[in-house]
Amino acid sequence: MVIDLLTKHASVRRYKDEPISKEVVEELVRAGQHAASSHFVQSYSVVHVTDTEKRGQLAELSKNRRQFYTAGAVLVFCIDYYRLEHAAKLLDRTIDYSVAENVLVGAIDVGLFAQNVAIAAESKGYGICYIGGVRNAPQEIGDVLGLPKGVVPVFGMSIGVPDEANEVKPRLPLDAVLHENSYDVEKYDELLPAYDKTMQAYYTSRSTNQKEATWSGDMADFLENPRRTHMKEFMRKKGFEFN
C-alpha cells in the first residue's frame, strides 16, 4: 500500500557499501518526472554525481561528509530556468523568470519532483535523505557542477541500501496541520505542549542520537536567527530578482 510506505518513511544517514546503477537512478528520475508541474514548466534538473572527486568536493562544501561519501547514489536537485530560457531562445523569444512568483514555482516543482524520486526509491527498498547542506556553499557547488545562470542547487539527496533503520519520527498531531474551512489560531496553546511531550519522549528513547529536547525548543533554536542569508544574493546572481 502506498500509504503504508509513506507513513513508514524515516531518513537514512548510514548506507551499506552498495552502489546504485545508472539504470536504477534513471528509473527513479523518470518516476520523479511524472510529478505534477505548475503550468507544466518542469522547472527542475537533477545532477547525478558519479565522479568521486566531485562527490568529495560536495561532501566538504556542504559539510555533510558521511552521506556524500557513503551513499549508493548522490543527486543534487536544482530549480532550473536555464532550459526554459533556452527553449524561448530557439523560438527567437525572451522570457523573464526573475519574479518571486517564479522562485515559488521552481521551488514547488523541484520539491514535488524530488519527493517522487524519494518515494520511488523507498518503494524499491532503498533509504534516502535530503541534504539541505548544499545551500551552505551554493556558488562553489554550482561551480563544481557547472550550473549555468537560471539554475539554483536547492538540496541534495543520498540514496542507498540502509545500514540502519531509524524509528519513524512522530509528526505533529493531525489537528495541528488540518484546519476546516478557516485557519484556527486558538488550538496551538494545547496542541504544541502536548506534542513537545511526545517528541521529548521520542528523543530520549530513540535508538541513536538520543537528546533532551522538545520540538518547539528545537524550532526556536533553528529559526531564532536568519540562516544562509547568502542565498538572496546568490539567487540574484542567478537571475532571480524577487520582484
Ligand X SMILES: Cc1cc2nc3c(=O)[nH]c(=O)nc-3n(C[C@H](O)[C@H](O)[C@H](O)COP(=O)(O)O)c2cc1C
Binding site residues, ligand X, CB under 6 A: 9-11, 13, 64, 129-133, 155, 166, 169
Shortest CB 155 distance to ligand X, Å: 4
Rank residues 35 and 98 by Cβ distance to ligand X and give the closer one.
Answer: 35
Query: For residues 85 and 152, which CB has a smaller minimum distance to ligand X in the complex?
Result: 152
Least CB distance to ligand X at residue 85 (A): 25
Instruction: State the minimum distance, in angstroms, from the CB of residue 72 to ligand X.
Output: 16
Q: Can you read off the three cell numbers belonging to residue 235?
A: 539567487
Question: Least Å distance between CB 51 and ligand X?
Answer: 21
Q: What is the 3-state secondary structure (H, E, C) of the chain?
A: CHHHHHHCCCCCCCECCCCCCHHHHHHHHHHHHCCCCHHHCCCEEEEECCCHHHHHHHHHHCCCHHHHHHCCEEEEEEEECHHHHHHHHHCCCCCCCCCHHHHHHHHHHHHHHHHHHHHHHHHCCCEEEEEHHHHHCHHHHHHHHCCCCCEEEEEEEEEECECCCCCCCCCCCHHHHCCCCCCCCCCHHHHHHHHHHHHHHHHHHCCCCCCCCCHHHHHHHHHCCCCCCHHHHHHHHCCCCCC
Closest approach, Cβ 8 to ligand X, in A, equals 10
Please identify, using beta-carbon distances, which residue of 86 and 228 lies nearer to ligand X.
228
Q: Which is nearer to ligand X, 40 or 125 (CB)?
A: 125
Q: How far is the CB of 210 from ligand X (least distance, A)?
A: 15
| Minimum separation from the CB atom of position 236 to ligand X (A) | 21
**Cβ distance to ligand X smaller for residue 9 or 48:** 9
Q: Which is nearer to ligand X, 56 or 162 (CB)?
A: 162
Alpha-carbon gap, residue 169 to 191, rounded angstroms: 17
Residue 27's closest CA among 110, 119, 114, 120?
120
Nearer to ligand X, 31 or 71 (CB): 71
Apex CA 62: angle with CA 61 and CA 63, to 5°? Answer: 90
